[in-house]
Structures are given as C-alpha cells and as structure tokens.
Structure 1
C-alpha cells in the first residue's frame, strides 16, 4: 500500500522546530549560519560544485525541491537557523526514503538541538506516514557522516563501489538504514537521551545515545 509523500510544513520538538524550506525566508539565514563561503568546507563531500554566493546556494536548493523536501532546523530559544536536511529518493509505493543534503551550522554541531532535529525527521516517516525504511547515504571518505549515522541509530549495510562521479572523481557510497521493526527501540532511546535529566549543569550528556540503545536492546 503506498504511503504519503513526506512533505511536512512543520515538525516541532522541545528544542527545535523544523519547517519546509522557503527560499525567500530561509536561504539567506542558512547561508549566514553556515558561514557563507565557508559552507563549502562543510559540504566538501556533496557532489555539487562550490557556491560563491548566497544566490547560487539558493538557486541550487530551490531547484532541488520537488524531488527533495528540505527541512530547515531552527532553535526554538531564539529561532535562529542551525541546519538542514532533506527527504529525498522518496519511494511512496514501497515506503522508503532517504535523509540527505545534511548540513549543520558550525555553532550547532554536536548539540542536542541537532539530535532532536534528526529524531523528528525519522519519527515523521515512521510514526506519521508508516514508512518501512529510512536511509542515510554518504561518500565513504566522509568519516564525520559515518559517525553521525551510527550515532543516530542507522545500521551500516555496505559500500557501493564507484557508485557515482562526484566532483570529477569516483565516489564509493556507503549505505546506512533504519527499518520499521527497529524503530521502537531507536525512538525510545532518542526520548530517553533528550530528557533534561540526561544532561548535567554544564549541558554535557550523562549517557550516550548509543549506550542507551544498547541497554534497551539488552533488556529482556
């Protein structure tokens, strides 16, 4: 049975709000949050060319909408833009989609806000839409993206060698995914990790997300 296409206007958590990309409102805010041309350092493993201006960035992201549905991450405390990710490669018939074009503002990297944003995106496809599978793919050289996928609960499934040509070179693509039967444990781990009691007075986590998942899986 086909599932609805993921295209939410708004997903709200306790720390962040995600809204569908609106070029006139969001392009400049994201470009600034990403450090303007320093954004190219953040996305050096993306297959597109570098951006020389906010206008180029806006045209690229605007043109991708339709095939993609980009969500902009905003911190609830001050409504500042802190990142983005897109639903892409959407297969409604089989209930499968990917999260990609993921970028976090340097000031937001490693924060609970970013973790909650990815939780909200996954929760939408599984709980709201009934998807069977949610994917994360990356250039196999991108160690930071490997770590992020593993931390968030995606399972490594292998490497597609010479999957595409990216920036003039062969790219090996690593595949990760989470599936609907795994989701209840992954969801509960996110919920526990995000509880205020999991953070000390300095805002440091008391228990890692991966350790919480492991504990849940080991409980009879």
Structure 2
C-alpha cells in the first residue's frame, strides 16, 4: 500500500455554520425556532420512521418539551455540528444530521446523528443530504478521511454506508454502552483517494435523467461507481 505524501500537509479549516444548497434539499444550520415544529412532525408525528430511534443514544420523545430541549442542545453544539434538512419541494424541515469528531489537524471528520423523517427514506433527498456534507468536507475543505460509524446490529445503517461508498474497515467490539445495551461499532470510511470516484457517482446518480417518470432510479450508486460515474 502506497503511503500518502504529507510533506505539504496543513490542518484543514473547520466547517462553518452556513447553508448548503442542493437540487432536492438545502442544509441549514439547525435552529429550533425555525425548524422545531417541522422536525417534531417529521421525526415523531404520523408517518415517522418507527425504527428511527432504535440505535440512536436518545429518543424517542413522547413530550414536545423534551424534544425541543434536545434540539436546543444540538443547535448550541459545535461538535457535533448539526444541520436541518429542508425539502425544497415542500419547503419544510424533514430531518437532520451532523458533522462530529472534527479533527482538522488530522484531516478526519465524521457524518452521524442522522435522523431522517419517513418522507426521506429511499429518496434522492437522503442521498443528497449526505453528499452535501461529504462534498463540503472532502471537496471544499480538503479533509483526508470521512467516517461513518454505527451499531453493528444496525443492518440499515451498514447497508446505507456501503451504498454511499463508505468502505467497511472493521468492528470495535464492546465499544459503547447505549441505552443499557452493549454496542459493537462498525467503522466505515471514504478517504481522499476514494473521493473522486464517489463524487462523480453521486453527481451522476442525483442528476434528473437518472430517474424515470415515476421517480425510480435508472442506475444505482454502486453501478455508477463501478463505471467511474459515467452514464
């Protein structure tokens, strides 16, 4: 394995609290006053994903006051740095996610705390939300490593990581205690050598002509990565 040349390496900038615009969604710095009502409905209301909270260290929330307090703590945090996902078609917040474990000296950053409402499941919105953060970290800011970690029992999250181009690197046994249960953590990452192919595939997959009249994908992200992002 060729070792990267770090003779000119400089610590990378921290991501800022600023909107990120996509074709299907816009990421906005989390603001409970602006996003709270929409997020309560998306994450706890009718049509919410019932499995959403199973592997997260918090939730579900039965009281709006507790939910609002959780949002306020997230909004005040710099690490994790939270963004609300705004569906451009409906102009409402439908989920949230964050950067975390920011290590600019090492060029390492993680995407996590993902809570997507039911409307985002298996949609371009969920893929684009992750892509916008990945592009900021790996493209604009020049980080070397983008991480994804999840409970090793969370088959949905592990499948999502692999679909999005993160490479499985191993499982940390007895890594954490979450909600009184043992958590073995599965680690995934995209490194800078992977990123050009991942970026090309993301862009090609998100293009309008990759979806048919019923909104179904024509080519998968995996297929596009294999083909270098080409049609």
Task: Give the TM-score of the pair, scaled to structure 2.
Answer: 0.89
| Alignment partner, residue 31 of structure 1 | 40
Report the equivalent of 2:3. none
Q: Please give the alpha-carbon distance, in whole angstroms, between the structure 1 residues aligned to 2:58 and 2:178.
A: 7
1:182: which partner in 2? 194
Unpaired runs of at least 5, structure 1: none
1:70 has 2:82 as partner: yes
Provide the residue aligned with 1:19 in structure 2: 28
Residue of structure 2 in register with 1:61 after alignment: 71
Cα distance change of structure 1 residues 66 and 8 upon mapping to structure 2, 3 Å threshold: closer
Which residues in structure 2 correspond to 1:31-180 (within 5 Å)? 31-36=40-45, 41-64=51-74, 65-180=77-192
Contact 2:44–2:61 under 8 Å retained in 1: no
Task: Tell me the distance in 2 between the aligned counterparts of 1:139 and 1:173.
Answer: 5
Distance of aligned partners of 1:39 and 1:194 in 2 relative to their CA distance in 1, 3 Å threshold: closer
Post-superposition offset of 1:78? 1.9
Count of paired positions: 218
For 2:23, what is the secondary structure of its paired residue? coil
Work out whether residues 204 and 229 of structure 2, in 8 Å CA contact, stay in contact via their aligned partners in 1.
Answer: no
Q: How big is each residue's C-alpha offset from its partner over 1:117-138, in whole Å with a ceiling of 9 and x where there is no partner?
A: 1111100001111111111100
**What's the CA shift for 1:68?**
1.1
2:225 maps to 213
* Larger fraction in helix: 1
**What stretches of structure 2 of length at least 5 have no aligned partner?**
1-9
- Take 1:39 and 1:207, find their aligned partners in 2: how far apart are those partners? 26
Note the C-alpha offset of 1:212. 0.6
- 1:166-210 CA-partner distances (Å, limit 9, x unpaired): 111111000011011110000000111111111111111111111
Q: Distance in 2 between matches of 1:191 and 1:49?
A: 33
